Every structure is written in structure tokens, then in C-alpha cells.
Amino acid sequence: MKKNVLEFLEETAVSYPDRCVYSDPERTYTFTEAVRTARAIGSRIGSLKASGRPVAVFMEKSASMAVAILGVLYGGCCYCPIDTSMPEQRIRTILSVLDPVAMVTEQDSRYLAEHFDLKCPVWDFDELSGMPEDTELLARIRNGLSEMDPLYILFTSGSTGVPKGVAGCHRMILNNLCWLEKEFPYEPEDVLGSQVPFHFVISLHDIFVPLRFGCSTFVIPQEYFSSPARLVNCLNSNRITSIFWVPSALTVVSRLNGFDTQLPAFLRYIFFIGEVMPVRYLNYWRRYLPDARYVNMYGSTETHVSMFFELCRDFADDERLPIGRACGNVKAVILDDGGRPVEPGEETEGELYIGGAALSLGYYKDPEKTKDRFICLKTASSEQERFYRTGDIASYDSDGNIVYHGRKDFQIKRMGYRIELGEIEAAAALIPEISECVCVYDEDRQMILMLYTAAEKIDSKTVSSGISTRIPRYMMPNRYIYLEQMPKNANGKADRRGLKELYARSGNRQT
Amino acid sequence: MDELLEILNDINPDADYETNEHLVDDEILTSFELVMLVTQIRDVLDVSIPSEAIIPENFNSVKAMMRLIGRLKEDE
């Protein structure tokens, strides 16, 4: 049994030394090159003697960034990708929680990194790549590691305004790779087309699958998604056989009639995860590519990929796809309002809990939040088993598959990003003129609406520029609506449902 | 022009549409927002944009978008 994902890399590099593992339009790494570069990086990081601690990877998504991540793992540390396009204030907040032992940058991000006054070393990727390998040190580090050691820390939106860091371990990805081998095996000839940023948990698939199967990952530049013809051409010219995208990315192709001029010729696996896939847009793909295998995945940063549903029949445009059943060594349980487990065959809705080998370690440096979301349940096999309380409402369908119905809280998914509306509200609360602020999401139009009251009326530009220094671009509201008074519900809280209805009644126009 | 600006302001109210000529290249309009824009142009302005015309050059500025819309209307 493997304890560290790098063991797969080393085995595969012996079998396929000259095959490509990662590429992008600028650069290609063979397995041999990736191992050599990552071991050089790992030797420098390992010299810090900081096993288990985080290293920030502050680079643009690229083949080199994937190799940098492997380097961090060789050094015995866990990686934390920091999105270089985030507002400086948010990066500072993340870095203050993370307290990294080192940061890996590249030429373009080095200058930005210098602003953060980090106490840890900041090393350039190219500089690290040329370091001598310390074989003895790397062996010593590896001997001291277990499958429960941290692999990543990924930051997601936090409802209080502070992003929360989820710490995942090697076991999560090791188990997932073993499960993939049984359900959706890859061949060395396969090429994965990577769409999601490396700070999304599903990027683990793109980064680590080649290590197990000897296939490769091509990093698709984000701008290709702005031109469907160019995107399809990229899929074909790189002979991409598998994609693991957010539904919004698949929808780009459907809504812009991306298959008008050319069809992807090699795709055989089409996985999607991260938000509800609108079936009518998926049916566009299925009409043009009927032989590919389509799989609706379910997971979260806290549980990686934990459930799946492979489409084995036609679905009508207005049907909802199930999230299916748990992946191997993963447990999915629905508890009703009274905490009683819902059994297959019952129609009762309840909250979904995920346990087993997909479970992460918890929230980094936040034992309170970890205790709140990672709880122990009594199961048939154990008196006390750890589960993640997802906040997702679910039920069983007549086939015994689990179906997702919505959230218990104010978390939304927009363009594949997980957003706590509370984080936007917390950013607005820091604008002195704003008295009260509530954000609601118009799902049909995929628009975030911010409704606010202020001591004196302030215009939307002032509000938007005030929050833009604290929240990333994908969280920015589409509409800013000034209200003289905030409608309240019976509990004296802002009436979110009422606000949504008020907005709908006003013809979706600014009030 | 006003209708197009209204659509753009709905999608991203924080951009300067008067002067910016790199809306897509600078990711002021992301790929996902481009989808919203193209579908809104179809629904509100009744102009269907073929997939081969969905390239950054045609959406980098309001002027470029107006030129594209004008061209497509002429072709109808």
C-alpha cells in the first residue's frame, strides 16, 4: 500500500521515462524531467526541515507549476496554490493564516510577492530547478511520512470574511487513484485537458492522475475558453481524451455552439463537478459525442471527489442528474432533521454527510470550525466514525441514487467557484458609509445582487471599488441596489427571500 | 449602443466600457461572462453570433462589438 503520491510518480517514471507528464503551450516535461526538477526543488525545501508545513506556490497555472507542486511534496511539505490574480488584501489574509515556510514564485509573480513582506524565503522556480539534488535528505524525508500527512491546503470562501484553509492528506488522492483504476482506468496514451485552476480541489485529478497511469496533462490556457472554435481545436491538436471540468466550462461550448465547425475527435471521458450540470447543455455534448462516457461527480474541498453518477440513459432537458453513489472506500449518509439516517427507498430529504477515505484533515489552524463541520457519527461498523457535514440537502431517488437539492446555508456556486455570500457582505461592512448589506443570488441569471442601506446614499461605484480590494473578481456583485430600509423577517433578520422577490417584482431592474 | 452597454453593465458593472479596448485580453470579461454576453445579444438584440466569430478581437471593445453586430445584421 502506497503512503505518498510520489511513490506512483517514481514507479511510472521508470516505466515511461520519456513520455510527457505535463505540458502547456510553452513547455513540456517528460516524467524524467519532472522527477529531476521536482527532486531539485524538494532538496532545497527539505533543507528547511519543515515536514508537514505549508509552502505557498505563487505562480500562474502552467506545466511548471505542477512540477513545483511535486517539488514541494518531495520536500516533505504540503502545497498551497495562491491565485496571483486575487486582490492583494485577500492574499495577505491567506498568507497570515497560512504562515508558509517558503514561497515558490516565478519571474512574473516575484515582484508581486515582494510586497507581502514575508518572513519566509521566497524562491524562484527556475533558481530552485537548478539546485543540486540531496538524495540522502529526500530519502530521510520520505521515510518519515505517512498517508495521513498533509498534501495540500486549499483556501475557499469563508462566510465570516476570512477565507478558510482546508488541509487534505495523501490518503485522499491515493484512494481516489485506486478507485479510478477500477471504474475509469486511464491508458498511457490518454491526455487530460486541464481547465480548473490549481487552487480548485478537482485539479488534484489533473495533477496526480498522470503519476499513476503514465498518461499526461495538458494545461489549457484560460483564454481558450473565450473562443469555442479555438478550444475545440486545442482539444484536437493535443489529442485530449479526458476532461474534468466545471459544468460552466462545458456550458460555454454548448451555449456558443462550439461544435459548429469542428468536433473533438479523441474525447472518451467527460467528467464534471463543482456545480449542478444543466442537462439541456449536457445533451448538446451527448448529441455530438454519443460514444464518450459522461460522469457527474460530487465532492468538495473537504472531501475531494466522493460520489459519482455515470449517465447510462437519456435524460430530458428538465431532469436533474443524480450525484449517484459513493466512490470506493467513501461513505455517504443522509440524516433527516431529527438526525435519523435516511435509507434508500425513502423519499425524505436530509443533510448529506461524507466519511471514509475521501475525508480531509479539517480546517487549517481552526479547530473550532473543524469541530463544527467534521463530526463523529455512529455507524453499522463503528461506534464513532468521522464524517463531514456538507450543508447539502439530498435524498434518494427510486434507483437508490442520491440526488442533490440545494444548500442549507448561503453558499453558492458561480462559474464553478464556491462563494459564501457572507464573505462579500463582510467586505461591504468595512465600507464606513454602509449600515447594512445583504447579498442574494439570482440563479437563473447567474447574478449576485447586493442590497444595502447607508447613512447617506452612496453610489454603486463607491461600493464596488470598496469591496474590490478585498474579494476576488468572481465574487463581485452584478447589481448594487440601494434601499432606504432593509426588509426584515419575523426574527428581525434581513429577509433574503423577500429581497429576492422584491427584485424579481421590480422587473430585475435597479430600484 | 445603449442596449449593449446595459447588457455589459449587467454582466460586469465595474468595467470602463467607454475607453477599454482589451476587455477580453485583460480578462475584464471572462470566458463565462462572454457566454452571458453572447446569449444576451441574441435574446435582447436578436443577433445570433456564430461560434467562429466568438474570438477576443470581436469583443475587446464596445466599438468592436458594435462592428460585429452591424456586420451580422447586414448579412441577414
| Complete DSSP assignment for A269-322 | EEEE-SS---HHHHHHHHHH-TTSEEEEEEEETTTEEEEEEE--S---TT----
Is B26:B59 a contact under the CB 8 Å cutoff?
A: no
Is A174:A5 a contact under the CB 8 Å cutoff?
A: yes
CA distances in angstroms from A280 to A243, A284, A446, A453, B48, listed in the order given: 19, 7, 16, 39, 19
Residues of B with CB under 8 A from a CB of A: 10-14, 24-25, 27, 29-32, 34-36, 38-39, 49-52, 54-56, 59
Q: Range of B47's domain?
A: 2-13+21-75
Give the end-to-end CA distance of chain B in Å, rounded to a whole number.
19
What pLDDT, on the 0 to 100 scale, is given for residue A507? 56
Q: How many CB atoms lie within 10 A of CB A409?
A: 11
Identify each DSSP E strand in A350-420 by its residue range: 350-356, 362-363, 374-377, 385-396, 402-407, 411-414, 417-420
Please report residues of B whose CB lies closer than 8 A to that of A223: 24-25, 27, 31, 56
Spatial separation of the C-alpha atoms in residues A341 and A318, rounded to whole Å: 29
Say yes or no for a CB contact (<8 Å) between A261 and B52: yes
Number of domains in chain B: 1
Burial A153-191 (b: 16+ CB within 10 A, else e): bbbbbbbebbbbbbbbbbbbbbbbbbbbeeebebeeebb
Strands A164-169 and A122-124, bridge-based pairing: unpaired
What pLDDT, on the 0 to 100 scale, is given for residue A488? 86
Is A46:A76 a contact under the CB 8 Å cutoff?
A: yes
pLDDT tens digits for range B20-64? 999 999 888 988 889 889 989 998 999 999 988 999 999 999 999
User: Which candidate in A254, A256, A476 is best for mutational testing of the B interface (most B CBs within 10 A)?
Assistant: A256
**What cell does A225 get?**
475558453
Residue located via cell numbers 474570438: B55
Question: What is the distance in angstroms between the Cα of B14 and the nearest Cα belonging to chain A?
Answer: 7
Is A446:A66 a contact under the CB 8 Å cutoff?
A: no
The residue type found at A97 is V
Searching chain A, which residue's CA lies closest to the CA of residue B27? A223
Instruction: For residue A29, list its beta bridge partners.
Output: A22
Say yes or no for a CB contact (<8 Å) between B51 and A226: no
What pLDDT, on the 0 to 100 scale, is given for residue B57? 93
B36 Cβ contact partners less than 8 Å away, ≥ 6 residues apart: A446, B11
What pLDDT, on the 0 to 100 scale, is given for residue A1? 81
Searching chain B, which residue's CA lies closest to the CA of residue A475? B12
Is B60:B27 a contact under the CB 8 Å cutoff?
A: no
Residue located via cell numbers 490518454: A190
Give the A:B interface size as CB pairs under 8 Å.
Answer: 79
Say yes or no for a CB contact (<8 Å) between B27 and A85: yes
Is B24:B59 a contact under the CB 8 Å cutoff?
A: yes
Residues of A with CB under 8 A from a CB of B: 85, 222-223, 225-230, 248-249, 251-252, 255-261, 415, 446-447, 460-461, 464-465, 468, 473-474, 476-480
Spatial separation of the C-alpha atoms in residues B43 and A19, rounded to whole Å: 48
What pLDDT, on the 0 to 100 scale, is given for residue A459? 87
CATH number at residue B39: 1.10.1200.10
The torsion angle over the Cα atoms of residues A119, A116, A41 and A107, rounded to 10 degrees, is -140
Strands A385-396 and A374-377, bridge-based pairing: antiparallel
Spatial separation of the C-alpha atoms in residues A200 and A209, rounded to whole Å: 15
Identify each DSSP E strand in A157-251 by its residue range: 164-169, 191-194, 216-219, 242-245
What is the number of alpha carbons within 13 Å of residue A303 lying toward its C-beta? Answer: 30
What pLDDT, on the 0 to 100 scale, is given for residue A511? 41
Q: Which long-range contacts (CB under 8 A, 24 or more apart) does A220-225 make?
A: A220/A193, A220/A194, A220/A195, A221/A24, A221/A25, A222/A61, A222/B27, A222/B30, A222/B31, A223/B24, A223/B25, A223/B27, A223/B31, A223/B56, A225/A195, A225/A249, A225/A252, A225/B31, A225/B32
User: Which candidate in B22, B32, B58 is best for mutational testing of the A interface (most A CBs within 10 A)?
Assistant: B32
Nearest to A446 among B30, B36, B55 (CB): B36
A117 Cβ contact partners less than 8 Å away, ≥ 6 residues apart: none
Q: Which of A236, A279, A274, A291 is nearest to A258 (CA)?
A: A236
What pLDDT, on the 0 to 100 scale, is given for residue A460? 87
User: Which candidate in B14, B29, B37, B58 is best for mutational testing of the A interface (most A CBs within 10 A)?
Assistant: B14
Residue pLDDT tens, chain A, 511 long: 899 999 999 999 999 999 999 999 999 999 999 999 999 999 999 999 999 999 999 999 999 999 999 999 999 999 999 999 999 999 999 999 999 999 999 999 999 998 898 999 999 999 999 999 999 999 999 999 999 999 999 999 998 889 999 999 999 999 999 999 999 999 999 999 999 999 999 999 999 999 999 999 999 999 899 899 999 999 999 999 999 999 999 999 998 999 998 999 999 999 999 999 999 999 999 999 999 999 999 999 999 999 999 999 999 999 999 999 999 999 999 999 999 999 999 999 999 999 999 999 999 999 999 999 999 998 777 889 999 999 999 999 999 999 999 999 989 998 889 999 999 999 999 999 999 999 999 888 888 999 999 988 888 889 999 999 999 999 999 999 999 889 888 778 888 888 888 777 765 555 4
pLDDT tens digits for range A215-251? 999 999 998 998 999 999 999 999 999 999 999 999 9
Q: Which of A338, A359, A250 is nearest to A296 (CA)?
A: A250
Spatial separation of the C-alpha atoms in residues A41 and A24, rounded to whole Å: 20
- Helix, strand, coil share of chain B (percent; to 5): 60, 0, 40
What pLDDT, on the 0 to 100 scale, is given for residue B27? 85
Phi, psi of A475 (to 5 degrees): -95, -10
Searching chain B, which residue's CA lies closest to the CA of residue A473? B28
Identify each DSSP E strand in A101-200 by its residue range: 102-105, 122-124, 150-156, 164-169, 191-194
| ipTM reported for the complex, 2 dp | 0.86
**What cell does B38 get?**
453572447
Q: Which of A424, A433, A426 is nearest to A477 (CA)?
A: A424
Instruction: For residue A152, list its beta bridge partners.
Output: A79, A168
